[in-house]
Amino acid sequence: MDCHPAQEAILAAIDGDRRSDDAAAHVRECAACREFDTIQRAQDATLVTAILRPRLNPAFRPRLREAIRASAPVRGRTWLPDIAYVAGAVAGVALAFASSPYFRDTTPGAVVLVGVLGYVFQIALTDRRD
């Protein structure tokens, strides 16, 4: 392991991640990384003692939960876009079938395939939006 990944592992370990065996071995062998580790641990200890954690009002958490609940979107009639899509697809299939007398054997299958693919695409977009 090189110094840069080992130093990244040192910083991650200070944040609470588990240090890999490779990084630990590199720190034992590399004087520069051992010094970096010592400096970072000392600096972290200094910051922990120097920075005071603010005390929150006891009502903070209940008010925060209530604000989150109040801002949550109301889910109602989520099936309406599906009904509209199916109605449009049925109308499109009927129109395509009625307007193409020469391709009556291939048109319904192609239109149904396009309708199904469009519906899957709509579902994918709807899921991303939520």
Token pair of 74, please? Answer: 């109301």
pLDDT confidence bin for 62, thresholds 50/70/90: very high
Query: Side chain identity at 66, as an amino acid letter?
Result: E
> Across 15-24, 41-50, 89-98, 104-113, which has the greatest mean pLDDT?
41-50
Cα dihedral across residues 4, 5, 11, 14: positive or negative: negative
pLDDT at 39: 93
Instruction: For residue 107, give the nearest of 122, 94, 117, 119 by alpha carbon.
Output: 94
pLDDT at 130 exceeding the cut of 60: no
H-helix or E-strand spanning residue 79: none
Token pair of 5, please? Answer: 């990944």
pLDDT at 106: 66
Using CA atoms, how far residue 22 sits from 12, 17, 128, in Å, is 14, 14, 39
pLDDT at 42 exceeding the cut of 90: yes
Q: What share of the chain is helix, strand, coil (3-state, %, to 5)?
A: 75, 0, 25
pLDDT at 18 exceeding the cut of 80: yes
